[in-house]
Amino acid sequence: MIKIENVNKYFYKGEDRELHALKNINLSIEKGEYSIEKGEYSLLTGPSGCGKTTLLNVIGALDSFDSGKIYFEDRELGALSEDEKTTIRLNEIGFVFQAYNLVPVLNVEENIGFIMRLRGFPDSEIRERVKEVAAILEIDTKLRSLPSTLSGGQQQRVAVARAVAAKPKIILADEPTANLDSKNSKALMDMMRSLNVTENISIVFASHDKDVLESVDRVIKLNDGEIIES
């Protein structure tokens, strides 16, 4: 599904020295590493500043890179225009951020249905799907509430629901549990696992949370921008 070949990204590159954000990242069978496949439930982990969020953003067509190639289902991200990347993000990728990042002016129902609406799903289908996802994530009683009235755990579940609702091929979740207590973290991870299974959505986390580490199928470890174990 996603292949990464020799991707490098620099924070700084001068004649005398260079500072890597990502260094020779490879996630492709040809290079002897496993690519990210359909139904995958894996984790990018490593110490702070190791490049896990950067890698996640690069995979998610959010951030650029300086050399190498990333294939998202045969499309090479580096060769795409900003608009084409936007279309991929809209139609095929779901995002969950550390800081929930809900749209403050929209209520829970509208936030969850937002991407579906952008993609032009009919109203009835959006309503049904929102209810369905909200029930799975146990926020179906909060559909009319504004994000600012919800707890952190609830907000993060809304964010997950938004990412899931439009049935993306992959969800990229950046530190989804960082602002949650352990009980809420555990509950969230359980729900994400069940979505991974029932909806057959690939999920890639970037996190150094133990709860996440324990629940995933595959762990890709990074240090100083390099994959040291996958």
Partner 1 sequence: MFSFALKNIFFYKSRSITTFILTFVSTLFFIVYVAMMDGSHNSMLKNALKVYTGAIEIYKTGYRDIGGNEYFIENVDEIESKLSQIDGIKHFTSRYETYGILSTDRYSSAAMVTGINPLKEENMSQLKATLIEGEFLSETSKNCLYAGADLIKKIHLKVGDEVSFIGSASDNSFAADLFTLCGVFRTGSFEFDSSASFVSRSYFDELMYAQNKASYITIDVDDLEDVDSVRLSIKKQLSSELEVLTWKTLMKSMVEMMQVDSIFGYISMSLFFVVIFFVIMIFGFINVSSRVKEFGILRCIGLSRANVRALLLYEIFILSSLAIVLATPIGAAIAYYFSIHPIVIEGMSETYKEYGIVSDSVPLDFNIFTISWNVALIYSLNFLSVIYPISYINAFKPIEATRHV
Residues at the interface with partner 1 (CB under 8 A): 57, 60, 62-64, 82-83, 86-87, 89-91, 93-95, 97, 101, 103-106, 110, 114-115, 118-119, 162-163
With vertex at residue 37, the alpha carbon angle to CA 36 and CA 43, rounded to the nearest 5 degrees, is: 45
Q: Which two tokens stand for residue 51?
A: 């490049």
- For partner 1, give the closer residue by CB, 89 or 208: 89
**C-beta of 116: minimal distance to partner 1 in Å?**
11
Helix/strand/coil for 229: strand
**C-beta of 30: minimal distance to partner 1 in Å?**
28
CA distances from 134 to 30, 64, 112, 191, 195 (A): 40, 33, 8, 11, 12
**C-beta of 157: minimal distance to partner 1 in Å?**
16
Residue 29 DSSP label: G
**C-beta of 163: minimal distance to partner 1 in Å?**
8
- For partner 1, give the closer residue by CB, 149 or 182: 149
**C-beta of 62: minimal distance to partner 1 in Å?**
5
Burial group, residue 51, by CB count within 10 angstroms (0-12, 13-18, 19+):
buried
- For partner 1, give the closer residue by CB, 32 or 120: 120
What single letter denotes the amino acid at residue 55? L
- For partner 1, give the closer residue by CB, 171 or 222: 171
**C-beta of 167: minimal distance to partner 1 in Å?**
13
What is d(CA 23, CA 103) in angstroms, rounded to the nearest whole number? 34
- For partner 1, give the closer residue by CB, 22 or 215: 22
**Cβ–Cβ < 8 Å for 27, 36:** yes
**Cβ–Cβ < 8 Å for 189, 196:** no
- For partner 1, give the closer residue by CB, 32 or 104: 104
**Cβ–Cβ < 8 Å for 160, 193:** no
